[in-house]
Amino acid sequence: MHPAMTQPIALITGASRGLGFALADALSETHHIVAVARTVGGLEDLDDRIKARGGQATLAPMDITKADAMAQLCRSIHDRWGRIALWAHAAVHAAPLTPANHIDAKDWSKSVEINLTALGHLIPYIAPLLGPTGTALFFDDPRGGEKFFGHYGTTKAAQIALARSWQAETRKTGPRIHILAPAPMATATRARFFPGEDRKGLARPRDEAARLLAALHGQD
């Protein structure tokens, strides 16, 4: 018997900053958050925010590219709670913009590893925790084919292609797979791509998280 869940469990990969942080914060009103990220300081800030509003979180300072670590995490979640209600995958690597013929090999490898390869083990590990009634969220950022976005655009497009395959395969059986399109947000990732951009017109991650979650409820 698994311990009784007083709240549904939401697993957030990439929870230490940006949209992942905002989603974890918003969902903590109704869910127990399992927050995964490499940045310990960002996870601690998230934990402080969640506790301040009376919520609960389990912090997992881990690297999603380490398949063995992710397997151990998912096993621990299963042993403690049995299942999760929601998985939101917000982890992403944003390498510096560069012409295709100047792509750095390390940046390319890291982009492939974080944006694509990690999903190849995360989906098989997390799907059993979601079961037929859970929900998985992915976030599109269609930069594929844009100039200077070679590694980010290519690997992000491949990530979403894999998510769409899973979505098509589970349409009748579950879990529910949603691919959402966030508005341009004032995040560190976007600032890396557009350092001189006027950020006044950009959405705040917490506002965008609220909008996306409201849209999600409308689809279910």
Mean pLDDT of 28-50: 97
Domain spans of the chain? Answer: 9-210
Q: What's the pLDDT band for 192 if we cut at 50, 70, 90? A: confident
Contact 31, 23 (CB under 8 A): no
Give dist(CA 93, CA 196) in Å, integer.
Answer: 20
For residue 66, count other CB atoms closer than 10 A to its CB.
14
Q: Using one digit for the tens of pLDDT, what is the confidence trace for 93-107?
A: 999 999 999 999 999
Provide the residue count of the chain. Answer: 220
HSE-CB of 184 using CA atoms within 13 angstroms = 11
119 phi and psi, to 5 degrees?
-65, -25
Mean pLDDT of 173-194: 94
- The pLDDT score that the predictor gives to residue 219 is 66
Share of the chain above pLDDT 90, in %: 90
Q: Using one digit for the tens of pLDDT, what is the confidence trace for 152-173?
A: 999 999 999 999 999 999 999 9
pTM of this structure: 0.95
pLDDT at 36 over 60: yes
Contact 29, 52 (CB under 8 A): no
Contact 10, 130 (CB under 8 A): no
Q: What's the pLDDT band for 58 if we cut at 50, 70, 90? A: very high
Q: What's the pLDDT band for 16 if we cut at 50, 70, 90? A: very high
- The pLDDT score that the predictor gives to residue 3 is 44
Q: Using one digit for the tens of pLDDT, what is the confidence trace for 198-217?
A: 999 999 999 999 999 999 88
210 phi and psi, to 5 degrees?
-65, -40
Q: Using one digit for the tens of pLDDT, what is the confidence trace for 128-150?
A: 999 999 999 999 999 999 999 99
Burial 6-29, CB ≥16 within 10 A → b, else e: ebebbbbbbbbbbbbbbbbbbbbe
For residue 34, count other CB atoms closer than 10 A to its CB.
23
pLDDT at 2 over 70: no
pLDDT at 77 over 80: yes
Which class in CATH covers the domain with range 9-210?
alpha beta
Per the prediction, the chain carries an average pLDDT of 95
Give dist(CA 132, CA 11) in Å, integer.
Answer: 16
